[in-house]
Amino acid sequence: MLYKKLSELTDEEKSKLIGRGGGDLANVEDTVAVILKDVKHNGDAALREYTKKFDGADIDAIEVTKEEIDEAAASIDPELMKHLEFAAGNIRRFHEAQMPQKTWFIEVSPGIELGQKFTALESVGAYVPGGRASYPSTALMTIVPAKVAGVKNVVMCTPPGNDGKVNPLTLAAAKVAGADHVYKIGGVQAVAGMAYGTETVMKVDKIVGPGNVFVTSAKMQVRDMAEIDFPAGPSEVLIIADDTCNARMAASDMIAQAEHDPNAVSVIVTTSEKLAADVKTEVLKQAEETLRTEIVNTSLANAAILTVESMDKCIEFSNEFGPEHLEIMVENDDEVLGGIEHAGSIFVGNYAPVPVGDYASGTNHVLPTAGYARIYSGLNLAHFMKSASIQRISKQGLETLKDSVIALAEKEGLQAHADSVRTRFE
């Protein structure tokens, strides 16, 4: 774990911190390409082969039946189901608020109306990771907004355990969210199945959801067959803090990110040297108290506690870093929030830790990582919709456009374009 003044970081240290995991996609590209090609050509047989190889599970039926989903939901403690439905309700409300006006027009001049028509995608594939942990929350985050948008066919892929079964809570979440089909496949093979389609798996128009470097690489490689949301790899948090921040709270938030994955990144940048020292002490203490100590300690090799001379420097570093999750734990949080330009999701105040967004506040936890927040937005309703522009033009309206269209078309050497307008006035 780095513990230094930001100004004293070596070029190598800063480059590694800012570029976290940036070269990993290239390292797995060829391996991923082989699996994609195999699934494309061999369909269900390849899916079963890779599920056996990577998940240790022999599966016959690739799709989880409705009866299995109902049985799984019925097995969940009713109190836990209430929490699942509560979270789903908040997620639904937040994304409903993002719904655009389905069709709108403005009159730019007499006889000329311009507008847009928004429609949902026909089909979407939601990837829900498994592996080190189950993520029913990701089922809610990917499926609920798709259904709010009006997507007709939402399918979910998630890896099975070595017994060939999907975690019951993940299946219950899929039911609560409204998934139309659930497939017990994970990894690159799941992305391939959704992108190309197989005898069992429905081909989709778009694939959303987080995953490891192999899943992320697979998503990037199938974009000629299915649109994707954005690269979403190992989790990360950046905390901006001053001396009003509680060291124990900040440390617990770093540990919470660290327990996700050995490649997760936890960083705090602060104007307070005392806070930095206290956070370091707390991080080391809490790392030994967590249940996932081995993962946390491995992840903390990617962590950093940095001190700077001013809050402006904190903001500057944050914008350069482009964090997936940004926590603002300072006295003048509005001032800091106003300076933030690049972040996947922002958590303001000492009582807004990242896990509330992971589970139940309603914002989406599927977010761009590794600096991609500089160019991508987190998962939202727009990811599940497309728009078409509309022009409604009368003869009077065309009259005002005629001369400009004809002149520009002829200048570009496109005589037929000019004639298509000129003809209407002959």
350 assigned to a ligand binding site:
no
CATH architecture for segment(s) 234-369 = 3-Layer(aba) Sandwich (3.40)
**How far apart, in Å, are the Cα atoms of 387 and each of 309, 364, 390?**
46, 22, 10
383 assigned to a ligand binding site:
no
Report the mean per-residue pLDDT for the chain: 96
Is residue 65 scored above 90 in pLDDT?
A: yes
50 assigned to a ligand binding site:
no
| Residue 24: pLDDT band with limits 50, 70, 90 | confident
Is residue 269 scored above 70 in pLDDT?
A: yes
Q: Can you give the residue ranges of every domain in the chain?
A: 24-228, 234-369, 394-425
Alpha helices in 56-110 (DSSP H): 66-75, 78-96
Mean pLDDT of 128-146: 90
**CA–CA dist 153, 31 (Å, integer):** 30
Give the residues across from 239 on adjacent strands: 268, 327
Catalytic residue among 181, 325, 342, 383: 325
Catalytic residue among 259, 324, 342, 383: 324
| Residue 130: pLDDT band with limits 50, 70, 90 | confident
Catalytic site residue 83?
no
Same fold for the pair 24-228 and 234-369: yes
Q: What three-state secondary structure class fits 178?
A: coil
235 assigned to a ligand binding site:
yes
Mean pLDDT of 147-157: 98
Mean pLDDT of 200-210: 97
Per the structure block, which two tokens stand in for 282?
A: 């707390």
Q: Per-residue pLDDT tens for 313-326?
A: 999 999 999 999 99
Q: Per-residue pLDDT tens for 296-352?
A: 999 999 999 999 999 999 999 999 999 999 999 999 999 999 999 999 999 999 999
101 assigned to a ligand binding site:
no
Q: Which CATH superfamily does the domain covering 24-228 fall into? A: Nitrogenase molybdenum iron protein domain (3.40.50.1980)
DSSP H or E segment with residue 408: helix 395-411
Contact criterion met (CB below 8 Å) for 169 and 76 = yes
Per the structure block, which two tokens stand in for 225?
A: 């067959």
